[in-house]
Structure 1
Amino acid sequence: MNIKNKEIYPDCLSITRTVEVGGLTKSQLMQKMQQHSILMNELGEKLFTDDYFTTSAKTFSLETVELTIRDLGLPKGDTLTKIYERANHLGLELCPLELGPYLRLGYLDQPEGKSSQQHQAPNGSITVSSETLNNEENFPKGFYLRRIKGDLWLRGYIADEHHVWDPDDHFVFVKQSGAIV
């Protein structure tokens, strides 16, 4: 059975989570991820250790929304720029980059993903929408969460401004404060 969801946010299936962010230094955050056996790829480590990636000293809560690109009203997928513009129009904001590690720590029961094609978001992965720290071609653009063979990953990814994301790729955004949806 193939069910097509023709509704767009907020009238679509989505997953909301309240995520506690902040309160740890980068080294404390890394230690906490290691305690939970969370792995990082080389791009994730490069992004995490970059001087521009900072953590908040204060703890705060964010209400996140996980949905597909199709749920944003983009049935053919689109580029990050268009995806982010559309999400903003629908009352969603980009996540602070530090949300990635905290979301990974809070989502330890992520289902197993399947293998995927090269240059595509892996099946079962969740991309954390965020501003890019560096526009260099080979610098990671953000984090995504994945479970592979039972292992939890916080991975970095590279995508240029022409890359078209699949309509079924999952992204996480933050609900705009005061947004009426």
Structure 2
Amino acid sequence: MEIEIDKIYPECPTICRIIKIGGLTKTQLLQKLQHHSILLNKYGEKLFDDDKFTVSEKAYKVKTVELKVRNLGFPEGATIPQLFNKAKKVGLDLCPVELGPYLRLAYLDQPEGNLGKSSLQHQAPYGSVTIASEILSEDVNFPKGFYLRRIDGELWLRGYIADYLHVLDSEDHFVFCQN
């Protein structure tokens, strides 16, 4: 019996996107999310409302790469610092926090997340996509970033909290920027 070894970035399956971000105020960005019936959880609202979350006045494009935690060499999962450090070593960058709302708006056809699978407490929900972005606050109760989810037909832009000891599942999907 042969054991299949995970392919490591850049030799692994990825989803690449070019996303235009910037050029809108926070208010305009929120209006655009509302126009598309995109919901925010309390952590997403807290992150959006905080002065640490800034938006660019000028529009620009970023290339994103979506992959699984295991495809950065962590078949048993990893902490956020481990994941972010390894991504940097292989040429991937953290995304600006403002990418979250723009990626949500660009990814309106995200597949349904639950598909009959129940979510585990303190884990990323099945089918979610987390944006790897700079941590804006060391406070464990302050959101670390955004993730995207579609559940029961509704699109979400959600914030999440985690400490540096939390182990991400090897199947969790993360989006990084590529220069």
Q: What TM-score bracket applies, with the shorter chain setting the length?
A: over 0.9
Three-state SS of the structure 2 residue aligned to 1:118 is: coil
TM-score, normalised via structure 2 length: 0.95
Shift of 1:4: 5.3
Paired residues for 1:15-164 under 5 Å: 15-114=15-114, 115-164=118-167
Aligned mates of 1:84, 1:65 — CA distance in 2: 13
Q: Name stretches of at least 5 consecutive residues in structure 1 with no aligned partner.
A: none
Aligned mates of 1:78, 1:5 — CA distance in 2: 17
Aligned mates of 1:41, 1:142 — CA distance in 2: 12
Aligned mates of 1:116, 1:38 — CA distance in 2: 21
Does the 8 Å contact 1:5/1:12 carry over to 2?
Answer: no
Three-state SS of the structure 2 residue aligned to 1:18 is: strand
Matched residue pairs, number?
Answer: 174
Aligned mates of 2:32, 2:167 — CA distance in 1: 34
Q: Name stretches of at least 5 consecutive residues in structure 2 with no aligned partner.
A: none
> For residue 9 of structure 2, what is the aligned residue in structure 1?
9
Three-state SS of the structure 2 residue aligned to 1:43 is: helix
Shift of 1:5: 6.0
Shift of 1:6: 1.6
Write out the 4+ residue segments of structure 1 that deviate beyond 2 Å after TM superposition: none
> For residue 174 of structure 1, what is the aligned residue in structure 2?
177
CA RMSD, aligned part only?
Answer: 1.1
Spell out, residue by residue over 1:42-72, the C-alpha distance to the aligned partner (whole angstroms, 9 max, x if none): 0000000101111000000000000000011
Three-state SS of the structure 2 residue aligned to 1:95 is: coil
Aligned mates of 1:140, 1:31 — CA distance in 2: 21
Residues 25 and 112 (structure 1), Cα distance of their counterparts in 2 relative to 1, 3 Å cut: same
Residues 25 and 8 (structure 1), Cα distance of their counterparts in 2 relative to 1, 3 Å cut: same
TM-score, normalised via structure 1 length: 0.94
Three-state SS of the structure 1 residue aligned to 2:62 is: strand
